[in-house]
Amino acid sequence: MANNLELKNWDKLKIYDLTIPLSDKTPAWPTYEPLQVKFFKRLAPNGANGQLVTHSNHVGTHLDGPLHFCTHGGDIASLDLKNYLVGPGVVVDISDIAEDYGIYTSKDIMERADVRKGDILIINTGYHKYGYDQPEADEIRYMVKHPGPTMEFAKWCEEMEIKWLGVDCGSADHPMNTKIREWMPKQASDCDKYLKAKYGKGLDDFFPPEDYQLMHIELFPHNIIHAECLGGDIDQLLGKRVTIGCFPWRWVGGESCISRIVAFAEE
């Protein structure tokens, strides 16, 4: 038996990069430390370039680890590569219904793609088009106005045993169910008016105190975590079932991590 492993149909394998560019210009999540970089040595006279980088774990495309919101949660190194970080999944496009401060539900997801139990789930809200490097760049819309779910959606994720989720905006939680609601009072008021006009219910009805940051607090103890700030080739995968992989550092003690997220498909 040959010792080498040959991948079949390599020439037909298509790799989609769902990661946004990372630099000192990439906005971190509000109030978090941005990425900073400097050279500590250059080719002359040292013979090599070397850089120092400081950042929070929540800048650019990143994976929120269980430890981020759960004291007994695992670190980044504990996440199994084959059986957790990489696996079958689907990219669901809800950009047709996404709007500022909007609410999406499990029904919206199921109507648009073949989601199966145990999947990795990537949600394309369309708000990656407001990313800092895009022609329609709008940091307020990207971080403060993107749509999000309620507790109904989190419970559905538990029932479906979703491995992990990815979103193409600032947070998997609705921004007005985070600290942003306190930091941005004008936008919070605008959201409350929008919800009352569309649904007849306001912010307090959709997001009572006991449901605060539900996508983190409710799901992380069940080891259902998420990646945020995806983008890249995401529009090429609308509704497609693919193999999805998230590749953070093998970081002992890491609560979260900047990551490369890709999808593999055979064309």
263's tokens: 């999808």
- Angle, vertex CA 108, rays to CA 105 and CA 110, nearest 5: 110
pLDDT tens string for the chain (267 positions)?
Answer: 344 446 677 788 999 999 999 999 999 999 999 999 999 999 998 899 999 999 999 999 999 999 999 999 999 999 999 999 999 999 999 999 999 999 999 999 999 999 999 999 999 999 999 999 999 999 999 999 999 999 999 999 999 999 999 999 999 999 999 999 999 999 999 999 999 999 999 999 999 999 999 999 999 999 999 999 999 999 999 999 999 999 999 999 999 999 999 999 987
Burial class (CB in 10 A: 0-12, 13-18, 19+), 240: middle
Q: What is the pLDDT of residue 9?
A: 78
Q: What is the pLDDT of residue 12?
A: 85
Among 143, 125, 230, which Cα is nearest to 181's? Answer: 143
Q: What is the pLDDT of residue 7?
A: 62
Domains of the chain with CATH codes: 10-20+58-266 (3.50.30.50)
Coil, strand or helix at 88: strand
Coil, strand or helix at 26: coil
- Burial 68-105, CB ≥16 within 10 A → b, else e: bbbeebbbbebbeeeeebbbebbbbbbbebbebbbbbe
Q: What is the pLDDT of residue 173?
A: 98
27's tokens: 């906005």
Q: What is the pLDDT of residue 3?
A: 44
The amino acid at residue 88 is P
